[in-house]
Amino acid sequence: MNLIMFGPPGGGKGTYSSRISERYGIPHVATGDIFRREVSEGSDLGKKIKGYLDRGELVPDEVVNEVVERRLSEEDCRDGFILDGYPRTLPQAEALDEMAKIDLVIVLEVSEEVIINRLSNRRICRRCGEIYNLRSMPPKREGVCDKCGGELYQREDDRPEVIRNRLEEYRERTQPLIEFYRRRNIVREIVVREEKPVDEVMRMIYSALESSLPAEV
Nearer CB in complex with Zn ion: 3/125: 125
Distance CA 92, CA 90 (A): 5
Q: Is 144 in the site for Zn ion (CB under 5 A)?
A: no
139 in contact with Zn ion (CB under 5 A): no
145 sits near Zn ion (criterion: CB under 5 A)? yes
Asked if 130 interacts with Zn ion (CB under 5 A), we say yes
Cβ 131 to Zn ion, closest distance in Å? Answer: 10
Q: Which of 148, 191, 198, 217 binds Zn ion (CB under 5 A)?
A: 148
Name the minimum Å distance from CB 153 to Zn ion. 11
Q: Helix/strand/coil (H, E, C) string of the chain? A: CEEEEECCCCCCHHHHHHHHHHHHCCCEEEHHHHHHHHHHHCCHHHHHHHHHHHCCCCCCHHHHHHHHHHHHCCHHHCCCEEEECCCCCHHHHHHHHHHCCCCEEEEEEECHHHHHHHHHCEEEECCCCCEEECCCECCCECCECCCCCCEEECCHHHCHHHHHHHHHHHHHHHHHHHHHHHCCCCEEEEEECCCCCHHHHHHHHHHHHHHHCCCCC
Q: Is 13 an annotated catalytic residue?
A: yes
Residue 110 in the binding site for Zn ion (CB under 5 A): no
Nearer to Zn ion, 103 or 146 (CB): 146
Least Å distance, CB 151 to Zn ion, is 9
For Zn ion, which residue of 9, 53, 150, 170 counts as binding (CB under 5 A)?
A: 150
- For the question of residue 88 being annotated catalytic, the response is yes
- 128 makes contact with Zn ion (CB under 5 A): yes
Catalytic site residue from 48, 88, 188, 196: 88
**58 touches Zn ion by CB under 5 A:** no
CB of 115 to Zn ion, least distance (A): 25
Q: Tell me whether residue 100 is exposed, middle or buried, using C-beta atoms within 10 angstroms of its C-beta: 0 to 12, 13 to 18, 19 or more.
A: middle
Query: Using CB under 5 A as the criterion, which residues of the chain lie in contact with Zn ion when the complex forms?
Result: 125, 127-128, 130, 145, 147-148, 150
Give the catalytic positions in this structure. Answer: 13, 88, 122, 155, 166
